[in-house]
Structure 1
Amino acid sequence: MEFRDLRGLTGVTITPYDIDGAAPGEHLGLPSASATLVVDLADGLVLSSESTRGTTAFRCCLAGMHLRPVTIHHDGSQHGVQLALSPTAVRAILGMPFGELTGEMIELSQVNTDFARRLHEQLAHARPAGRTQVCASALAAIAADTTPAFDAQTAWDVIARRRGQVTVAELVELSGWSARYLTKLFVAEFGVGPKQAARLARFDAARAALESGLPAAAVAADYGYADQPHMSREFTELTGFAPGALLARRAAEFSPANER
């Protein structure tokens, strides 16, 4: 469920999940223009990445925007709630710039111990059908009346609204600043430059379009890639998989145990 305006929060998506009966395996956590908060209600969310040694188990995993995938290791079942958080939401909920989380995977308790404890306890006692509302109420209760720097946020909003199909030159024209100054403000707030943010936003939108069944050639044309090979190169650089291979990989994740 998506909440576009929850006591000042924008761009919050809450997705409860319950998976049972799948074969043990791995699930890709893809690059995203959002921060991600996963509250695990089972035995821990087990993650690994290209930049870490071994695996780490999380109870409430807070991950910033990242440019490479992470791997979720599972035993065939997963239970919890995943929240996608926009920069505005991160600032409102946690009182920190979005950029401080970029590339990070940490326990929510490292930022706010009390909120992490209360959120986990409330979700653990909630019925599956009530988890979305529990999260919404918890976010509303903690949301601060602060917002990111207006001008940097405005640039982000343009990128999000246009699904990454905007150039730095266009943002410069809209802002009236130099490219250097715009990039400095943007990086200070979000941890990456506007070009990288636009790249991730476009990838998010294109991936969703492909997963909805649209042809790759049409997606490449509609989502601002020069051509289909250009889109394929971008997907490969971000995920390690070409579009078709990525869709096949994701479709095979969490397949029933008796199918393997």
Structure 2
Amino acid sequence: MRSYEVGSEPGWDVVLPRDGVSLDGVRMAGFRERAAPGLDLRVLPQPAVVVVIGLGESPFSVDGAHGHQYLPSLAAALTPGRARIRGAGVECVECVEMRLTPRAAYALLGVSPRELEGSVRGLDDLWGRAGARLRERLAEAPAWQQRLTLVDRFLAERAAWGPAMAPEVAAVWDTIVARRGRVRVGGLAEACGWSRKRLWSRFSDQIGLTPKRAAMLVRFDHAARALTAGANAADVALACGYVDQPHLHRDVLAFTGCTPTALAGRAASAG
């Protein structure tokens, strides 16, 4: 059995697998709300698919592109739209959260990432009875060590028969990430040896975004992290490769529905 360590974030107990997980591209943790003020989170776009498996009897209340939903477990797309997840009225929230790189998500989710675009979906829609059974087993497990091991084994089994991302698509994604979104999109197809049309089609099917949108997302992610850490918007625009501060403003507004100042304020109020 793996060994685990316990950490903390404001209002939460966090359990992390000390030795990592079996699969590349997967980050996993168990969360238990200590203060129980009522879960209320706005989901920001990021270069990872976020999967949350609730362990309690009460489902999460999700407002997003598909309207209002009650979901016991969920998967949020790379760009989930203006999604909000609540657990108000629940005495204690416990869940397992996974962050999947696009390559891991493509192998594990069971659907094309294109089908997730702009939404938060119920995990039972993606994993069916197998996902529901996993949640039942997690609820029955008496300790976090066992829960995280169950999820790790479940993912390893799915990955064994899941689809593999095309090496060319993976290489283009890795290039976008390594350069923090500061790429010449027209040169990506030339670098991987495909036509522009073929790359755009295969990349969109396997990542869920066009290469241009993926580059915008990765650049935005670095900018959002800097803004929420308290950096000045003008400095962030320069450091992250935006033409100017209005360019940063437009991208933040497009991805989040709020201004850079409001985005930084959300982090301050949550801290």
TM-score band, normalised by the shorter chain? 0.7 to 0.9
Structure 2 CA distance, aligned partners of 1:23 and 1:67? 25
In structure 2, do the counterparts of structure 1 residues 58 and 171 end up closer, same or farther at CA, with 3 Å as the change threshold? same
Which residue of structure 2 lines up, in the alignment, with residue 73 of structure 1?
86
Cross-structure match for 1:30: 44
Moved more, 37-46 or 217-226: 217-226
CA pair 249-214 structure 1, distance change in 2 beyond 3 A: closer
Alignment of 1:104-123 (within 5 A): 104-123=119-138
**Which residue does 1:97 correspond to in 2?**
112
In structure 2, relative to structure 1, the CA distance for the partners of 1:172 and 1:91 (3 Å cut) is closer
Structure 2 CA distance for aligned equivalents of residues 121 and 161 of structure 1:
39
Over 3 Å counting, the alpha-carbon distance change for 1:166 and 1:52 in structure 2 is same
The alpha-carbon deviation at position 56 of structure 1 amounts to 0.8
Map 1:180-259 to 2 at 5 A.
180-253=197-270
1:31-86 C-alpha deviation (Å, 9 max, x unpaired): 2232221111231111101x333x21111212323252201123275321221112
Measure the CA separation in 2 of the matches of 1:27 and 1:119: 24
d(CA) in 1 for partners of 2:116 and 2:142?
28
Other structure's SS at 1:241 match: coil
Which residue is 2:24 aligned to? Answer: 10
Q: Give the Cα–Cα distance (whole angstroms) in 2 for the partners of residues 140 and 151 of structure 1.
A: 24
For normalisation by structure 2, the TM-score amounts to: 0.79
Matched, 1:157 2:157: no
Q: Check conservation: 1:102, 1:190, Cα contact below 8 A.
A: no
**One of 129, 143, 159 as aligned partner of 1:143:** 159
Task: Provide the residue aligned with 2:35 in structure 1.
Answer: 21
Please tell me the residue identity of whatever aligns with 2:187. Answer: E
Q: Mind listing any 5+ residue stretches in structure 2 that lack a counterpart?
A: 1-15
Q: Deviations over 1:159-187 (max 9, x none)?
A: 22222221312313312333333212212
1:1-36 CA distance string (max 9 Å, x none):
599x955x4321213222243544732111223222
List alignment gaps of at least 5 residues for structure 1.
Answer: 256-260
Q: Which residue does the alignment assign to 1:258?
A: none
Q: Please list the CA deviations of residues 118-139 of structure 1 after superposition, one character each: whole Å capped at 9, or x if unmatched.
A: 3313332253466444432332
Question: Greater RCO between the two (CA within 8 Å, min separation 6)?
Answer: 1
Runs of 4 or more, structure 1, over 6 Å off, are: none
Letter of the 1:69 counterpart? R
User: What residue number does 1:63 align with?
Assistant: 76
Query: Size of the alignment, in residue pairs?
Result: 251
Query: C-alpha distance in 2, partners of 1:2/1:97?
Result: 28
**Larger deviation, residues 92-101 vs 188-197:** 92-101
Structure 1 length-normalised TM: 0.82
